[in-house]
Structure 1
């Protein structure tokens, strides 16, 4: 089972591992990046890496999870600021910005997601994707519930159903940006407008 990143985890070896793997993916792509490349770049032993993950693919899944967590951290920080400034829309702007960045063709997140998705017939990878889906869905549900508490989202919105719609949209956006990255004019401002319009119409 893929390790779940603890909200307070600041283990320097884990952070180094994630950052090095992400940099290699941007340089070489997912298929060409090997565990030996990661060992060489980080200086960590194979045993140290296997303390965190059992395979390259699991490491890639952990990078995706860390990106969802980073977006969630930005959302929670924006909520804290919103409570002081009465700007209840700021957290969703943070989500829109994170989504825009992670769905770019050049994003390591996008590359990893498509790479893992292309191998879904492998039971181990299917499990990684299922765990990522569950983690992302639970996080999105919490965003919506937080927005309802702050009165930025109507209580008529069903958090679970809206989370499912949000994930369907983000998966489509990732594929679109991979196939035709210059054919869309969707930026973070437009994403924010779309998210808020959709939520407030429910």
Structure 2
């Protein structure tokens, strides 16, 4: 009879695989990394890894899901402590100002993230999954803050919250991508200037 494996043990092994994959992707990039690399890093067999994940794509999606949950919890708690929509918006901008992709500990992960997004455009299922994640978390979060600001009289009522949520994330993602590919890019200065322009457009 096969030994009974607890859910706690399964989750522990799953997290070990994700941590090893995270390290491999950060070091070599998503497409260059292989399941064999994850095997070597984790010390687990290939069969053990395939017991938890069907493919490298699935592993990366699990990493993104974990990141979204962690960010969601952090952002939700921090935002709930702030009284005005403008304060909540400032908090989000400052969170990205503190996550400068020019810093070594952030650069590799930012590159992997953009690499996977580009890779997903050739896979309709992955593209659909990432689109849903973007709309359900990122757009919903910003649109909610903008609507709150409109109801409180802080922001212009005629602006569409969904459109401006898209503009916000295009701004953040764009400046992050530029910082990963252009040497000595003034990430913080440019993001702060974008913040000023964006807020001025929103203000009633």
RMSD: 3.6
Give deviations 1:145-201, integer Å, cap 9, x for gaps. Answer: 442347496372423212222232233223312220412242697278348615633
Normalising by structure 1, what TM-score? Answer: 0.69
Q: What is residue 182 of structure 1 aligned with on the other side?
A: 184
Which structure exhibits the higher relative contact order, with contacts defined as CA atoms closer than 8 Å and separated by 6 or more residues? Answer: 1
CA contact (8 A) 1:17 1:42 kept: yes
Segments of 5+ residues of structure 1 without an aligned counterpart are 1-10
Following superposition, the deviation at residue 131 of structure 1 comes to: 1.4
Q: What is residue 54 of structure 2 aligned with on the other side?
A: 54
Q: What is residue 75 of structure 1 aligned with on the other side?
A: 75
1:113-192 matched pairs, under 5 angstroms: 113-120=113-120, 122-123=122-123, 126-147=124-145, 148-149=147-148, 151=152, 154=155, 156=157, 157-186=159-188, 190=192
Normalising by structure 2, what TM-score? Answer: 0.68
Q: Is the aligned partner of 1:31 residue 2:31?
A: yes
Structure 1 residues 165, 91: closer, same or farther in 2, change over 3 A? same
Range with bigger deviation, 110-119 or 72-81: 110-119
Q: What is residue 40 of structure 1 aligned with on the other side?
A: 40
1:80-95 matched pairs, under 5 angstroms: 80-82=80-82, 86=83, 88-95=85-92
Q: Secondary structure at the match of 2:33?
A: coil
Following superposition, the deviation at residue 78 of structure 1 comes to: 0.6
Greater percentage in helix = 2
Following superposition, the deviation at residue 135 of structure 1 comes to: 0.9
1:99-118 matched pairs, under 5 angstroms: 99-100=96-97, 104=101, 106-118=106-118
Q: Secondary structure at the match of 1:31?
A: coil
Following superposition, the deviation at residue 128 of structure 1 comes to: 1.6
Give deviations 1:107-133, integer Å, cap 9, x for gaps. Answer: 34422233224435632xx43233112
How far apart in 2 are the matches of 1:39 and 1:118? 25
Higher gyration radius (CA):
2
